[in-house]
């Protein structure tokens, strides 16, 4: 009987220990601290107007679900606070990997960024900040590939609308895009025709928005893409050339 009682007592103590352990874990999870970590590594894109888009990444923990809104806040001074126009939403499939894009911010400045929660009581929780500089030189990382289409969008005896396809564009948008053309295959005495009604950045898409006038009837012209960046660099985006003939 004494041995039986000892066995029962050991079982009760074991069950209590297991139960306490579970309660301790629940309490620890319930009151675990919120966190929002912003990674130091950022990505960028230089816009056609010279401003910069900067992508930031991070991860957060909110065990009690107190955050009604989450995002990134930025400013030109350390420890920026949320106001009406300095935040972006932190988006992503899982809380350990979220991102946001600050668009059209000034080039050549230092910015401070940190993640934040807006809590149910109206207050804010902020994570630790990172610092990045938008004094960016994209000349060694940007990429632009363009192809001329074999047929013009429209052609007459003295006018033509050639077409080009931007197939790849990375890190920076050129400020100008259009065509270089000549009656000579080596493009000697060439002329340039630039698109004037494009708004915003150049994208990966087909362009046929430029009517070239003053051409000679029944004449073959050589066309190749033309683009220019804000720093004055000119590129043809590859080696694509087409022969197009007026009517």
Q: What is the mean pLDDT of the chain?
A: 88
Average pLDDT score over residue span 199-221: 92
The domain limits of the chain are 35-133, 143-245
233 vs 34 pLDDT, higher one: 233
Say what the pLDDT of residue 110 is: 97
Say what the pLDDT of residue 198 is: 86
Report whether pLDDT(160) > 60: yes
Task: Characterize the bridge pairing of strands 206-207 and 220-228.
Answer: unpaired
Average pLDDT score over residue span 201-220: 92
Report whether pLDDT(13) > 50: no
Say what the pLDDT of residue 208 is: 80
Report the top-level CATH class of 35-133: mainly beta
Beta bridge partners of 228: 176, 234
Average pLDDT score over residue span 100-104: 96
- The 10s digit of each residue's pLDDT in 22-73 is 433 433 443 358 899 999 989 999 999 999 999 999 999 998 888 899 999 9
Say what the pLDDT of residue 28 is: 41
Say what the pLDDT of residue 10 is: 41
Say what the pLDDT of residue 32 is: 53
Domain 143-245 in CATH 2.60.40.10: yes
Residue 58: exposure state from Cβ atoms within 10 A (0-12, 13-18, ≥19): buried
């Amino acid at each position: 009987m004494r041995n039986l009682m000892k066995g029962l007592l050991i079982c009760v103590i074991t069950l209590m220990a297991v139960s306490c352990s579970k309660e301790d874990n629940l309490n620890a999870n319930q009151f675990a601290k919120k966190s929002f970590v912003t990674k130091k590594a950022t990505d960028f894109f230089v816009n056609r107007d010279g401003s910069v888009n900067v992508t930031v990444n991070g991860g957060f923990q909110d065990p009690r679900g107190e955050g009604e809104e989450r995002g990134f806040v930025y400013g030109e001074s350390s420890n920026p606070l949320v106001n009406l126009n300095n935040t972006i939403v932190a988006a992503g499939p899982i809380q350990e990997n979220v991102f946001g894009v600050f668009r059209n911010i000034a080039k050549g400045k230092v910015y401070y960024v940190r993640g934040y929660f807006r809590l149910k009581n109206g207050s804010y929780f902020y994570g630790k900040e990172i610092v990045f500089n938008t004094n960016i030189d994209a000349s060694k990382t940007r990429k632009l590939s363009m192809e001329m289409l074999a047929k013009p969008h429209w052609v007459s005896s003295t006018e033509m609308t050639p077409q080009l396809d931007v197939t790849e564009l990375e890190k920076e948008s050129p400020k100008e895009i259009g065509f270089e053309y000549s009656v000579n295959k080596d493009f000697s005495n060439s002329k340039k025709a630039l698109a004037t009604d494009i708004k915003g950045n150049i994208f990966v898409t087909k362009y046929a928005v430029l009517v070239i006038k003053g051409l000679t009837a029944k004449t073959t012209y050589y066309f190749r893409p033309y683009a220019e960046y804000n720093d004055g660099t000119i590129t043809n985006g590859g080696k694509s050339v087409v022969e197009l003939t007026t009517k």
